[in-house]
A and B are shown apart, each in its own frame.
Chain A
Amino acid sequence: MRAHRRLLAVAVSFALVGAACGSDDDSTTTPATDPAADTTEAPVEEAPEEEAPEEEAPEEEAPEEEAPEEEEYVPPARGDADLVIWADDTRTPVLAPIAAAFSEEEGVEVVVLEVPFDNIRTSLNTAAPVGEGPDIIIGAHDWLGELVSNGVVLPVDLGATADLYSDVAIEAFSFDGATYGLPYAVENIALIRNTDLVPEAPATFEELEEIALGLVADGTVDIPLAIQQAPGDPFHNYPLFTGAGGYVFGQNPDGSYDPTDLGIDSPGGLEAAEKFGEWAASGLLNSDIDYGVMTSSFGEGRAPFAITGPWALGEFSDVNFVVEPVPSVNGGTPQVFVGVQGFMISSFSENPELATTFLLDFLNSEELQLELFEAGGRPPAMTSAFEQVADDPIIQGFGLAGQQGAPLPAIPEMGAVWGAWTDAYEQVFAGADPTATFEGAAASIRSSIGG
């Protein structure tokens, strides 16, 4: 009887896990599997979804992505190869032939190992210092704060190569005056508009608000503007926050962020906070919208607008839409956070010369940038490669929005910002006084940066 019930429980849990993979958050299935089996299972599990964890540019703001069991992830052993590359499931197939070509031409052995995207970051911290890490990783630029603090990545002298890439991509991979990687893709969010519901692009955000609330009032749609919050999302709110006058950190003339200049409680920031209070009160923004509600509402035509990134477009195949920059808010230009992905070299690589050569002489090619674009759909960071794909209206829309963007801050101080800022949005959406809340959040961010 008891054994029987166990069997049933196991069967039911597998059925549910299967169902869950189709829903919004596949990584929560990790605890279902035997942690010991993670080595083989994990790469497969991460595979099928559009919203794989890597799409969440600010890793810190997506706590569900990190079930505790993931700490037990064991990366694949490196073996005897001269160069080992850690890449995730979408990029491994693209890199493998390139690695093979390099191996053959240069008489060395290059191996590409598949590691789930977020585990690349966590495993590099632990594996590299004990000599088990890779030579090259694929990663997001906003990991740099952590990776450089931990001393596990090596600066790369790009020299004139830097001119081949967009400024924002190079800026993003610069940290403390040095460049830490070769960028390959740039991605950012933008406004997605349902053209059947709203044929004309609103000129201002105020006009957008009026149209959206009007459509809700006459019962055409359920949700005026689909932005994932659950419960407050600084990354997706950033264009509105900046448009209304705020900023997160001041930027130095060279584009790097200045951690002493926190803009969350600047006069413009507080003005923006008040705006968020108004938007929450009018119902334009809703703390309860998560990624699943965002995609389903816009994808089913129950929301006229969404603010999201290229990773969600797969869910929108049933509606006609265009991608465009968020219109000016209160007269100000909305800035989106731009995430840049690229290749970095482990500072514990035993063959850093070979790794550098591979990066600068082989990966640094227009052809590869285009191949990676085909595989992952992220616009290339190399300017000439981007121009070749820019006639696609969707790429163009995201590109236009990105041109107004700023790189997602990679400075370690940003780690102190995400949590407190999320909490502040949550409290404002729950009805707290916006000015006091944002002032309080800024104070606690400053104290944890200082201490």
Chain B
Amino acid sequence: MTGVEPVDEGRGADAPRPSPRPVLGNYGSPLGILVKLVALALLNAIVLWGLTVMADAGEWAFLVFSALALLVIDWVYLSRRRIPGKYLVPGTLFLLVFAVYPVLYTVFISTTNYGTGNNLSQEQAIQQIERQSISATDEATRYSLQILARGNPGGDLAFLLTDPDGERFLGTADELVPLADADVVADGRRETIDGFVPLNAGQAQDRVAEIRSFVVPGPEGEIDNDGFGAAFTKLQRYVYDAATGTMVDTVNDVVLVADGGYFVDDDGRRLLPGWRTNVGLSNYEALLTDPALRGNFIRVFVWTVVFAAASVFFSFSLGLLLALVFNNPTMRGRQLYRSLIIIPYALPSFMTALVWRGMFNQSFGVINRWLDVSLPWLSGQWLPYVSILIVNTWLGYVYMFLVSSGALQSIPDELTEAAKVDGATGPMRFRRITLPLLLVSISPLLIASFAFNFNNFNLIYLLTEGRPSIPGSDAGRTDILITYTYKVAFEQGARADYGFASALAVVIFLIVAAISAVSFRYTKQLEEIR
């Protein structure tokens, strides 16, 4: 949308009206309009195609949202007014899709019991319980099976059964007939009897619906196929009673009722699998009321705040110190030093964290070897905290150095010189003039850095995994909230609890949002001072 007016004048010749503005908006060149139309057309085509996919998948909420978003985009961009909308709409849509939706979805998950054992919908769980409870009866004879069809592969089905003793039977829908060995003839790799053709797995698969309902009456009950190569009498232990919403154990004659995402019997034993269900606010309740969890949460929270604040403090202090040093124009070789200082920033932090972990190893790490001591850098009571802060300062000071260097250069020399003339000493000039002016521009970055470190999963996870452990607690000494959440959600092996982890994530989100909001208000006040 640049260079609008002069080009418009050129188009004015074709326009019947005196107004120089073209009909489609003040975009100017025909090329600009063309690009806009092609882009919009492409977007419309892609989204419309996407809508058909979503309709197929039954994702109605996404479909409605996408359709509305498309209408809004078309409405805004096909007009020559609504200029603010043209700037705001894309950002707003991305905000909705990539920020608001994940937050709302996390909130939704936090009100469910989603996790191991509660992975399916209730309908699926009922289906699986019934299906998985089908097994051979205790006394069932396990026949090996060849599926036959009378005359041709589409003819009436029959089972050629061989029991473990080698006795042969022909099973039809009506009866089970013993066969003499002579009746059975080979047909390639398979066996059959006169008048029938054997079905291979592909042919059987084509008629699988018929085969599923085909059973042979036998002495122990109906003989049913298991796969296409075996058959025996089956029993379904659990049957769902839709009228009462209960599951009936037909073997022991016990009724199990649905409770909290499981079918449970009178003794509270749960039938697996369970299903996902709404549990209201009980995940939050557990967080607030369970003494073990609450103790963990408070301890982890305190360390998280200390870790984030101390990381910002130390890295900013070191970065600023270096920036002040390198800001001195009389220093020689500044460019070289500056390039070297960038190194921690240029290395990927997950690699450096692992390297530091190796260096801190108590028995085999270089640090203890150089210092000729045996300090438990990552396993002692207090040293792990120190180690983490050392590493994070090392990782973070470069960024602080860069932004401080920039900000220092924007402070006018006259101010410090005037202070000098007034007789202020060096430290005084720094404290009264340089630092306040610096903080005005850097405070938002410090807050952002705090928020980032608050959720600095990579460092903690790669350096200590939250260890050392504390007896009787599932959160380690150096766990921060986000690593504790991860442990709860994914690391407890057979009992991952996504619902509770989501509740923790929501709480973390609220804390970070609150801290950020308050801090930004505070920095606004700082700006007004200026």
Contact = CB atoms under 8 A, between A and B. Distances in A.
A440 B469 CA distance: 13
A440 B471 CA distance: 7
Contact of B116 (A106, A412, A443): A412
B494 A353 contact: no
B491 A430 contact: no
A157 interface: yes
A445 to B, nearest CB: 11
Interface in A389-440: 412-416, 418-420, 422-424, 426-427, 430, 432, 437, 440
B250 interface: no
B362 interface: yes
Interface string B324-335: 000000000000
Contact of A288 (B129, B212, B348, B363): B363
Contacts of B125: 151
A351 B205 contact: yes
B354 A68 contact: no
Nearest to B363: A288
A106 B379 contact: no
A266 interface: no
B132 A154 contact: yes
B6 interface: no
A40 B228 CA distance: 36
Contact of B229 (A82, A357, A426): A357
A155 B132 contact: yes
B493 A443 contact: no
B200 A107 contact: yes
B22 interface: no
Interface stretch (B103-111, B421-429, B443-451, B457-465): B457-465
A414 B379 contact: no
B495 A178 contact: no
B486 interface: yes
Contact of B379 (A82, A287, A355, A359): A287
Interface in B78-115: none
Interface string B464-500: 0101111110101000000000110011111100000
A430 B494 contact: no
A28 B129 contact: no
A414 B348 CA distance: 36
A68 B457 contact: yes
A9 B348 contact: yes
Nearest to B202: A107
Contacts of B439: none
Nearest to A11: B346
A36 B458 CA distance: 19
Interface in A266-322: 286-289, 293
A9 B346 contact: yes
B225 A150 contact: no
Contacts of B135: 155, 157, 178
Contact of A151 (B119, B476, B487, B494): B119
B116 A419 contact: no
Contact of B363 (A13, A286, A420): A286
Contact of A31 (B120, B350, B465, B491): B350
B319 interface: no
A184 B490 CA distance: 28
Given A353-B208, A426-B467, A440-B471, A149 B494 contact: yes
Contacts of B272: 148-149, 151
Contact of A426 (B129, B227, B468, B493): B468
A163 to B, nearest CB: 11
Interface residues of A, number: 79
Interface string B206-219: 00100110000000
A388 interface: no
Contact of A357 (B227, B364, B468): B227
Nearest to A297: B364
Contacts of A20: 351, 354
B525 interface: no
Given A9-B348, A150-B117, A354-B228, A66 B471 contact: no
Contacts of A154: 131-132
A149 B117 contact: yes
A108 interface: yes
Contacts of A148: 272-273
Contacts of B201: 102, 106-108, 354, 357-358
Interface string B346-366: 111011001000000111100
Contacts of A9: 345-348
A8 interface: yes
Contacts of B458: 31
Nearest to B227: A356
Contact of B273 (A82, A151, A441): A151
A150 B200 contact: no
A448 interface: yes
B397 interface: no
Given A13-B347, A423-B469, A106 B361 contact: no
Contacts of A357: 201, 227-229
B423 to A, nearest CB: 40
A416 B376 CA distance: 28
Contacts of B345: 9
B350 A151 contact: no
A35 interface: no
Contacts of A356: 226-230
B409 interface: no
Interface in B305-340: none
B21 interface: no
A60 interface: yes
B120 A415 contact: no
A361 interface: yes
Contact of A125 (B119, B226, B474): B119
B498 to A, nearest CB: 11
Nearest to B465: A63
B202 A108 contact: yes
Interface in A7-47: 8-9, 12-13, 16-17, 20, 25, 28, 31-32
Contact of B119 (A82, A145, A152, A355): A152
Contacts of B351: 13, 16-17, 20
A427 B230 contact: no
A155 B226 CA distance: 11
A151 B120 contact: yes
A103 B493 CA distance: 37
Interface in A74-105: 82, 102, 105
Contacts of B495: 412, 415-416, 448
B472 A68 contact: no
Contact of A157 (B116, B232, B491, B494): B232
B147 to A, nearest CB: 10
Interface string A240-276: 0000000000000000000000000000000000000
Interface in B104-159: 116-117, 119-121, 124-125, 128-129, 131-132, 135-136, 142
Contacts of A155: 132, 135
Interface in A326-384: 347, 351-361
B142 A159 contact: yes
B468 A12 contact: no
Contacts of B487: 419
Given A154-B132, A412-B495, A360 B116 contact: no
B119 A437 contact: no
A107 B116 contact: no
8 contacts: A108-B201, A149-B119, A157-B136, A157-B230, A287-B362, A289-B363, A412-B117, A426-B469
The 5 A-B residue pairs with the shortest CB-CB distance, nearest first, are A107-B202, A415-B494, A151-B273, A356-B227, A415-B493
Interface of A: 5, 8-9, 12-13, 16-17, 20, 25, 28, 31-32, 59-60, 63-64, 66, 68, 71, 82, 102, 105-108, 125, 129, 145-146, 148-152, 154-155, 157, 159-160, 178, 231, 286-289, 293, 347, 351-361, 412-416, 418-420, 422-424, 426-427, 430, 432, 437, 440-441, 443-444, 448
